[in-house]
A = this chain, B = another copy of it.
């Protein structure tokens, strides 16, 4: 069975997250339904990682084993035909070695979190940013990022529903940039805990508001306790941008 690497973009507003579910529309189920139409038999699409409901992806990666070989243009053509009006698109399909595994072969994952920092409500950008009215202190947020880069126990920064047994993770970089009213928070790690990016962003927001000091972030990290971390930032500002192999 030939294996294919898939690069997928999706609008998080259309889906109840990546992971297959019996009673909700998910990206994985939607892709599998499209492949069923192409191949006339069920296949499993294995993602590089789950995304929660409302989270967007510009470069999610998955792999799929098909019952027979197809030209990659036929795969993208057919799958994108079946995905029409469903909020997702297959950007690329590539033949790949059977040793490739979308989840286990990944060496780094990148996310961008977008904040619109202005007093007035959003119009065009609604659903694509976390809207924060009060002006955030970017320099303070940037100072706090340095504490979270590197190899740490991120137990404070993971959802109570996180199923990982080990909570040590290595953050390769974490940057905060502001252009006009738009703040971009970019982060890379080999792997993330459940909600890790959104809890980091929620914590940085407390620093940006002046409610927390940089020292408070340090103590939260060292506490290794979810109740000591900031809130989970809403999903609509989060973009899964890239996976490296």
Which A residues contact B (CB, under 8 angstroms)? 9-11, 14, 56, 58, 76, 80, 84, 87-91, 118, 120-124, 128
Contacts and interface: CB of A to CB of B under 8 A. Distances in A.
A124 B120 contact: no
Nearest to A127: B124
Contact of A56 (B56, B122, B124): B124
A89 B123 contact: yes
Contacts of A118: 91
Contacts of A90: 120
A222 B44 CA distance: 60
Contacts of A121: 80, 84, 89
Contact of A124 (B11, B76, B122, B123): B11
Nearest to A81: B121
A89 B9 contact: no
Contact of A9 (B11, B84, B123): B123
A89 B122 contact: yes
A80 B123 contact: no
A187 B87 CA distance: 32
A14 B122 CA distance: 13
A133 to B, nearest CB: 12
A90 B123 CA distance: 10
A11 B123 contact: yes
Contact of A123 (B10, B76, B120, B123): B10
A89 B11 contact: no
Contacts of A11: 123-124
A227 B124 CA distance: 34
A91 B76 contact: no
A240 to B, nearest CB: 12
- Which 5 A-B residue pairs are closest in the complex by CB-CB distance? A11-B124, A11-B123, A89-B121, A89-B120, A89-B123
Contacts of A120: 9, 76, 80, 89-91
B123 A88 contact: yes
A125 to B, nearest CB: 9
